[in-house]
Amino acid sequence: MTGQKSKVSRLSQGNRDFRNRTRRDRNPPDEQKNISRGAPKLQAGDATAQPCILLHSGREKSLLRRHPWIFSGAIERVDGVPANGDTVPVRDAAGNFLASAAYNPDSQITARVWSWREAEMIDKEFFRNRIANALSARHELNLADKSNGMRLIHAESDGLPGLIVDRYGDVLVMQIGSAGPEHWRDTIADILQELCKPVCIYERSDSDARGLEGLEVRNGVLRGRLPDTVEVIENGLRFKVDVVAGQKTGFYLDQRDNRALTGTLAHGKDVLNCFCYTGGFSLYALRGGARSVLSIDASGDALRIAAENLTRNGLDESRAVWQDADVFQALRTLRDQGRKFDLIILDPPKFAPTAAFAEKAARGYKDINLLGFKLLRPGGLLCTYSCSGGISEDLFQKIIAGAALDAGVDAQIVHHLHASADHPVLLSFPEGAYLKGLVLRVAG
């Protein structure tokens, strides 16, 4: 540990534009981050009537396409006095049933759909079915051979808006991002306990999105006892997972397949891993036979775990350098020093939670990718990612094309990448497809 620690150098604190978003939260419920707190007052209907949300005429279209969000602007009036998290029927202007949804007047996403079937009760049985269904979908992926860590419930895409559940060995980490699952929290925990039998269910309901939903931050043990160390073993590599204070639920499970790919590309190469967190891509590159790996992150805590992970896996410390620095600044310093690499990984935090941030985010992506291209030797590979819900795959590719042009390199796309299969994307909820990546080869 001390050996690696001494290698952690500190660059200038320079451009930290994006530092306030260092907690890269890739959970779909978080995608509405540009929506400021305090939804407009909803028109109250007949308070004595059964609770019901009535939509403006024509505003049922997205629901008919089975998109699960109902924005406040689509609502004509709310009958009855439903409480936060209550299940209410949603009807079109003519009174036809559209969906049963979880109500939250404190959010601009005023309701999130649980079910499209009028006869379906939203009760413990409903949650047991949805959770069992998500679990069996994961079982069919045959991931157990690859990893003991996986996303078990991927919110909207598993029919459970606002609910994330990640598994790290015997420990489940649950993250609630909206009022619906908040209301059913204990029921959901009971079902998870019954179906998964974990030693602990830990709650990390502390994403920024909760503020937008008017929910308090919660971080603590929900069931059982948290073991002293939580570890994920992914493709034979061991990673310590800080479920209490780490980013997201502790680990970036979505990059599993892309990390494995990096391992196959790294042999004999000088690798630069930017935004390395706890060393995911770096460890795969080292195991894959990289000549050297320079890893950069602005989180000292993440770097300490990264160095620990290196030791934990018995990998060659002499080939690894960890640097605590702002990547925007560090890339410039490397350029000025004339450093060159054969393989560069850029996996930054979310620059654009929604399309409203796209322009500013595009500048950030272009900046780091342009510098990345410049730091590559001829024939080098750039593995570049965006986990911004507000940046489409198409736009991301255009930004990268612009960066290559300005860097004066010709590059070809070798791989189009996405999140691993335990992060499915519901066809009617494209927001679920937040993570995209490209592997590019610059001309030799």
Nearer Cβ to ligand SAH, position 91 or 304? 304
Per DSSP, 245 falls in state: T
Q: Which stretch binds ligand SAH (CB under 6 A): 138-146, 172-180, 252-260, 409-417?
A: 252-260
Nearer Cβ to ligand SAH, position 22 or 115? 22
24 binds ligand SAH (CB under 6 A): yes
Binding residues for ligand SAH, rule CB under 6 A, total: 25
- Considering only residues 42 through 101, tell me which ones interact with ligand SAH, judged by CB under 6 A: none
302 binds ligand SAH (CB under 6 A): yes
347 binds ligand SAH (CB under 6 A): yes
Among 297, 342, 422, 431, binds ligand SAH (CB under 6 A): 297
**Would you say 393 and 357 are in contact if contact means Cβ atoms under 8 Å apart?**
no
Longest distance between any two alpha carbons in the chain, whole Å: 73
Q: Please give the structure tokens belonging to residue 187.
A: 């029921």
Nearer Cβ to ligand SAH, position 17 or 170? 17
Among 255, 323, 354, 420, binds ligand SAH (CB under 6 A): 255
- How many residues are recorded in the chain? 444
Instruction: Give the H or E element holding residue 394.
Output: helix 393-407
State the amino acid at position 44 in one-letter form: A
Nearer Cβ to ligand SAH, position 39 or 327? 327
Nearer Cβ to ligand SAH, position 23 or 128? 23
**Cα(338)–Cα(334) distance, rounded to whole angstroms?**
6
Instruction: Give the H or E element holding residue 304.
Output: helix 300-312
37 binds ligand SAH (CB under 6 A): no
Nearer Cβ to ligand SAH, position 39 or 303? 303
Buried b / exposed e along 93-118 (16+ C-beta atoms within 10 A): eeeeebbbbbbbbbbbbbbbbbbeee
Nearer Cβ to ligand SAH, position 45 or 437? 437
Give the dihedral sign, CA 391/395/400/403. Answer: negative
Task: Tell the smallest beta-carbon distance from residue 23 to ligand SAH (Å).
Answer: 8
**Cα(104)–Cα(161) distance, rounded to whole angstroms?**
12
**Does residue 274 carry a catalytic annotation?**
no
Q: Please give the structure tokens belonging to residue 393.
A: 């795959």
Task: Tell the smallest beta-carbon distance from residue 2 to ligand SAH (Å).
Answer: 22
- Considering only residues 313 through 332, tell me which ones interact with ligand SAH, judged by CB under 6 A: 326-328
Task: Tell the smallest beta-carbon distance from residue 358 to ligand SAH (Å).
Answer: 18
168 binds ligand SAH (CB under 6 A): no
349 binds ligand SAH (CB under 6 A): yes
- Chain position whose Cβ is nearest to ligand SAH: 280
* DSSP-assigned states of every residue in 71-137: EGGGEEEEES-PPTT-EEEEE-TT--EEEEEEE-TTSSEEEEEEES-TT---SHHHHHHHHHHHHHH
Interior angle at CA 62, CA 56 and CA 66, nearest 5: 130
Q: Which of 52, 200, 276, 387 is catalytic?
A: 387
281 binds ligand SAH (CB under 6 A): yes
Instruction: Give the H or E element holding residue 165.
Output: strand 163-168
Among 1, 3, 5, 19, binds ligand SAH (CB under 6 A): 19
**Would you say 32 and 353 are in contact if contact means Cβ atoms under 8 Å apart?**
yes
Residues that bind ligand SAH (CB under 6 A): 16, 18-19, 22, 24, 247, 252, 255, 259, 275, 277-278, 280-281, 296-299, 302, 326-328, 347-349
Q: Which residues are catalytic?
A: 387
